[in-house]
Structure 1
Amino acid sequence: MKFAETTIPPQAGTARPPKSIAASQLAKLVDLGIALSAEHDRSALHQRILKAAREFTNADGGSLYLLNGDESELHFRIMENDTLQRYVVDGNQQEYPFPPVPLYLADGSPNHENIASHVALTGETINIVDAYAADGFDFSGTRRFDAATGYRSQSFLTVPLKSARGRVLGVLQLINARREDGTVIPFDPMIEPLITALTSQSAVALENRRLLQSQRDLIDSFVRILAQGIDAKSPHTGAHCERVPVLAKMLAQAAVDQKNGPFADFSLSEQEWYELDLAAWLHDIGKIVTPEHVVEKATKLETIHNRIHEVRTRFEVLLRDAEIDMLRRQLAGEDQAICEADFAARRDELRAQFELVAQSNIGSENLDLSTIVAIRDIATQTWQRNFDRTAGLSWAESSRMTSEEAAILSQPGAEPLLSDRQDQVYNHVNNGEIYNLSIPRGTLTPEERTIINDHVVLTQDMLEQLPFPPGLRNVPGIAGNHHEKMDGSGYPRGLRGEDMGALEKIMVIADIFEALTAVDRPYKKPKMLSECIDILGRMRDDNKIDSDLFELFLTSGAYREYGDTYLRPDQRDDVDIRHYLRNA
């Protein structure tokens, strides 16, 4: 594209007065607009804006201010000055030069005393030849700055950054235009249209970035609300979705920081970091539809509540029956000592039986076949029910009985001490008492474990329906593969190590370690840090988790850093990591 030259008559004493706005300047402005639109880094964008404005005007220095969220103040973002050899950005507390500029005074009136706030309020460009001789604006702050630095602020060009809709987003202030020999001169008014065009492009770029950032903030907030909602479903797994991202990023950072070893060439772009963060927060999103009583199942008989209390009541009934039988026999004339001995034997038997049932209900130990047989023998005992068992039921519970069953259950009758009734099987789960008490290990039946495992499938299905942009296409895989294993024994896809990327393997370790170290699980006691590392070590030896990442987790100290922050003091014991390093 060829740009026509626009002739501008020179003005005496102005900064490099252009004989014309050359096609090269216009081309540079166009190129700059493209570059500004493509820049996603906030600090780099601010730097580009200020640098371009200074180059166009040959300004010695300049500052960029942007309006805060409620548009009540101008906040400093960046300052450059060649003479003072200073380059300062916001966030550098040691060199932070300027406080926010209020747009309104204490009485609520507009602040037209400060030149920057005036420009922000009016949207007008202000060109000051000499700040020390200017009327109408308060330059006392400038004078104090000059006195402290030995600088001499003279010419000022203060320009609003207006969006395409005319909204002022900030203010660009240039200081001390210069000739080629460095002499300070006023800013040429004829350069103002070029700077206005530049600030307009800058405002568009800033507004686009703000819109993108606001969309990202909305996504992040939505993701965190979902994760918090999942954690809030169960007080026993609370904060899991918050802590897994912490662990995942710790381990990923350790891989990025490694200079020698298997991760010496490993790096993550800003977009890949964001992918990992989103995936870690969303890795259990499928649990949003997992029943709470399955997630929280602390004992084998637990559904909405622990049914061991109902079972204990039946044992109490049998004990009362035994006592009544003893008293009746005595009233009938039988020998008192024999009656009491029989009652004592029955009482001891019931107590032993209930103790076995109660201990089996906890699920902390492997259940052997003899115990399962004993539970089934105990279940055959009967107790007398005298009330209608169909009374007070919900429509759904009543519908699980046939009319014949309901007719029988409405009358008094004998019932087994423990049972597996047909009406206890619903929603693909068998809640039968004998069936659940016979679980060999843990508290979950095979059906319930499938429901728990299915949260990963649901996570993948839900995330794959979301229109992730190209830079985030890996989120469903990173989030949904956190139960896969290196040897292919994981679920739901049975992936092997070679099928997974580094971030997926990081998620596997982060999810396992958080679950091992958690103190809020109802089905297990809190483990010591050394126990958790030992379990991970055995999983490494069994080719369940990545060996290089496990050793990096230890040698980087990430396990200790996490433990010191999130584990209870009584969990933080010493760990001899040399025991787990293969080349130690």
Structure 2
Amino acid sequence: MENIEHFIEIGLALSKEKNHQVLLEQILLSAMALSRADGGTIYSVNDEEQLVFDTLINKSLNIHWGGTTSHKIEIPAINIYQYQKPNKSALVSIAATTGKIINIEDAYHVKDYDVTAAKEMDKRTGYRTKSVLTLPMNNHENDLTGVIQLINAADSNNNVIAFDKKIERTIHALTSLAAVILTNKQLIDQMEELFGSFSRVIAYAIDKKSPYTGEHCRRVPEITMSLARACHEIKKGPLANFSLSDADFHELSVAAWLHDCGKVATPEYVMDKATKLETVFDRIELIIARFEVASLYISHHGKYDANEKLRKLKQLADDKAFIINANTGSEFFDDAKINRVYQIAKHYKVTINGVTQPILSDDEVLNLITKRGTLNNRERQIINGHMDVTVDMLESLPFPKHLKNVPEYACGHHEKMDGTGYPKGLKRNEMSIPARIMAIADVFEALTANDRPYKPPKTLSQTIAIMDRMKENDHLDPDLYDVFIEEKVYLAFAEKFLDKKQNDL
């Protein structure tokens, strides 16, 4: 009855433990306690088909190596196979290859197994190995997950005895349970690694989709995690009580890598639009050709005298230069400039192949009068729509409990604290701290990025000045932004990723 209760306690403890090293040590300690063994070793299997010493304990010699201790085991791993055949020079490798339990009453009086290694170890330590129990740890699919070896069982008077068959069965049940638990935890770890890698693959694919945002999906996680660590470590101010566990950091990292996954549905011609007139190609070349046709017409038209021709040609050249500059989208386009585009479109007409047409088409005018950047209103809606796609994608995924916040974190990086952001128009009190952290990371990366075709990268001083205003206008979380500045998160990122000329602070 005592063993059953002990076994239940062990099973519960093993099922709760997450650390692989601690788990293996618990298995060994539990097996030693059940069998009253003086010593024991637990091995795991590596990718080279070797048994690796994970924890080694011997009470009489006062040894506790590996496991949760700082004492690293320097003993070489044991090959399970030698020259493609089972290694018969060690009991643990024999148990591993045969899948059989080896129970030896006295190691010095056994003929069926090679115990030379145990005898040599005894000579060096002065120990006397007598009873030995070696058990393979096989999971529910009969895959080997490790081997456990126990030495010198003791009776109630501490006399060394053989390992009892009932105890052998109990230890075997324990190792089988432990093997299943180990396998489940390994599968969970592998799934975590797979999902994390898949998240990074999606980000990599999005970055590769556009040569002009080739580092965005990689850099935003860098800034996000740096700011999250700074907020976690700070012990003063509004964030003094904020903390993140390892699982929380992992969840935020996954969200950061997936924050722009909706861009897989954004057309390249919009995402990569370097100038206002760019579609498959930059239509400014067509407009320049029309200006040349208009210039030829003025130059060869008989009704203009010489002075009038010069004046008209100069005005034409000035208007052409204005349109070329307007196409870049590098500066704010005010109402005066917009009116000039309309006037140019109305004033000049050209005849090509017998067809008379305005020098600027309606669609070209629509794009040229864009006030900021290179995207017209329709294209801006398409770009902003990547967040709707991101929301749909992430909210449709059955995230496990420990990743349930990924959609909220990832989908909040375009929200503003005053509720004027998108896609949901959330206010500060409707967003989690990690989501607000991502908003700061995304803005900072966008401003400092040196691979955008429609704007030069901002220096640190320019970027901080813009973000200061965003804080004042209630677009960025003020507490998080203060940590971003005071802990110099921006500077650490700049030193790693930005051009030296951008770092002017």
Equivalent residue number for residue 86 of structure 1: 64
Letter of the 1:382 partner, please give it. Answer: K
1:57-94 Cα offsets, whole Å, 9 max, x none, are: 2334433222235x7233343334443443424997x7
Equivalent residue number for residue 371 of structure 1: 337
Equivalent residue number for residue 101 of structure 1: 78
Letter of the 1:516 partner, please give it. Answer: L
Please give the secondary structure, in 2, of the residue aligned with 1:55.
helix
Distance 1:206 1:373, change over 3 A: same
Equivalent residue number for residue 202 of structure 1: 178
1:439-473 Cα offsets, whole Å, 9 max, x none, are: 11221212222222222122112211112233332
- Equivalence map 1:243-258=2 (5 Å): 243-258=219-234
Distance 1:529 1:176, change over 3 A: farther
Please give the secondary structure, in 2, of the residue aligned with 1:86.
strand
Shift, 1:150, TM fit: 7.3
Equivalent residue number for residue 384 of structure 2: 453
TM-score, normalised by the number of residues in structure 1: 0.79
Shift, 1:491, TM fit: 1.4
Shift, 1:295, TM fit: 1.5
Equivalent residue number for residue 284 of structure 1: 260
Alpha-carbon distance between aligned partners in 1 of 2:493 and 2:69, rounded to the nearest angstrom: 27
RMSD: 2.9
1:123-146 Cα offsets, whole Å, 9 max, x none, are: 112234566776676667667767
Equivalent residue number for residue 279 of structure 2: 303
Please give the secondary structure, in 1, of the residue aligned with 2:237.
coil
Of 28, 46, 50, the match for 1:50: 28
Letter of the 2:139 partner, please give it. Answer: S
Query: Which runs of no fewer than 5 residues in structure 1 stay unpaired?
Result: 1-22, 387-411, 421-431, 575-584
Please give the secondary structure, in 1, of the residue aligned with 2:135.
strand
Of 212, 215, 225, the match for 2:201: 225
Distance 1:131 1:550, change over 3 A: farther
Is 2:83 the counterpart of 1:116? no
Distance 1:199 1:378, change over 3 A: same
Contact 2:38 2:152 in 1 (8 A): yes
Contact 2:56 2:63 in 1 (8 A): no
Q: Which is further off, 502-511 or 27-36?
A: 27-36
Equivalent residue number for residue 382 of structure 1: 349
Alpha-carbon distance between aligned partners in 1 of 2:316 and 2:122, rounded to the nearest angstrom: 93
Contact 2:22 2:68 in 1 (8 A): no
Distance 1:118 1:456, change over 3 A: same
Alpha-carbon distance between aligned partners in 1 of 2:128 and 2:463, rounded to the nearest angstrom: 64
Alpha-carbon distance between aligned partners in 1 of 2:395 and 2:341, rounded to the nearest angstrom: 46
Equivalent residue number for residue 13 of structure 2: 35
Equivalent residue number for residue 26 of structure 1: 4
Is 2:454 the counterpart of 1:526? no
Letter of the 1:488 partner, please give it. Answer: G
Of 362, 365, 369, the match for 2:328: 362
Letter of the 1:461 partner, please give it. Answer: D
- Equivalence map 1:185-584=2 (5 Å): 186-323=162-299, 325=300, 339=306, 343-380=309-346, 381-386=348-353, 412-420=354-362, 432-574=363-505
Please give the secondary structure, in 1, of the residue aligned with 2:387.
helix
Please give the secondary structure, in 1, of the residue aligned with 2:33.
helix
Alpha-carbon distance between aligned partners in 1 of 2:472 and 2:457, rounded to the nearest angstrom: 23
Contact 2:90 2:117 in 1 (8 A): no
Alpha-carbon distance between aligned partners in 2 of 1:531 and 1:183, rounded to the nearest angstrom: 79
Shift, 1:484, TM fit: 1.1
Shift, 1:195, TM fit: 0.9
Letter of the 1:98 partner, please give it. Answer: I
Alpha-carbon distance between aligned partners in 2 of 1:116 and 1:320, rounded to the nearest angstrom: 93
1:21-71 Cα offsets, whole Å, 9 max, x none, are: xx12112213322432343332332232122112112334433222235x7
Equivalent residue number for residue 7 of structure 1: none
Letter of the 2:56 partner, please give it. Answer: M
1:337-388 Cα offsets, whole Å, 9 max, x none, are: x64x5554444333211110111111121112222222122223122221xx
Distance 1:509 1:86, change over 3 A: same
Alpha-carbon distance between aligned partners in 2 of 1:151 and 1:523, rounded to the nearest angstrom: 76
Distance 1:139 1:234, change over 3 A: farther
Distance 1:264 1:149, change over 3 A: farther
Contact 2:217 2:260 in 1 (8 A): yes
Is 2:46 the counterpart of 1:68? yes
Shift, 1:149, TM fit: 7.0
For the pair shown, which has the larger CA radius of gyration, 1 or 2? 1
Please give the secondary structure, in 2, of the residue aligned with 1:262.
helix
Contact 1:90 1:96 in 2 (8 A): no
Alpha-carbon distance between aligned partners in 1 of 2:168 and 2:7, rounded to the nearest angstrom: 13
Q: Which is further off, 164-173 or 123-132?
A: 123-132
Alpha-carbon distance between aligned partners in 2 of 1:130 and 1:516, rounded to the nearest angstrom: 74
Distance 1:255 1:181, change over 3 A: farther
Contact 1:76 1:90 in 2 (8 A): no
Contact 2:17 2:23 in 1 (8 A): yes
Letter of the 1:559 partner, please give it. Answer: Y
Letter of the 2:197 partner, please give it. Answer: S
Q: Which is further off, 219-228 or 473-482?
A: 219-228
Alpha-carbon distance between aligned partners in 1 of 2:381 and 2:23, rounded to the nearest angstrom: 50
Alpha-carbon distance between aligned partners in 2 of 1:183 and 1:551, rounded to the nearest angstrom: 68
Equivalent residue number for residue 429 of structure 1: none
Shift, 1:110, TM fit: 2.5
Shift, 1:571, TM fit: 2.4
Alpha-carbon distance between aligned partners in 2 of 1:142 and 1:254, rounded to the nearest angstrom: 52
1:521-563 Cα offsets, whole Å, 9 max, x none, are: 1122122223223322221122211111112123333222222
Alpha-carbon distance between aligned partners in 2 of 1:343 and 1:151, rounded to the nearest angstrom: 111
Alpha-carbon distance between aligned partners in 1 of 2:426 and 2:503, rounded to the nearest angstrom: 34
1:264-309 Cα offsets, whole Å, 9 max, x none, are: 2222234333321221121111111111121222211122222212
Please give the secondary structure, in 1, of the residue aligned with 2:238.
coil
Letter of the 1:357 partner, please give it. Answer: I
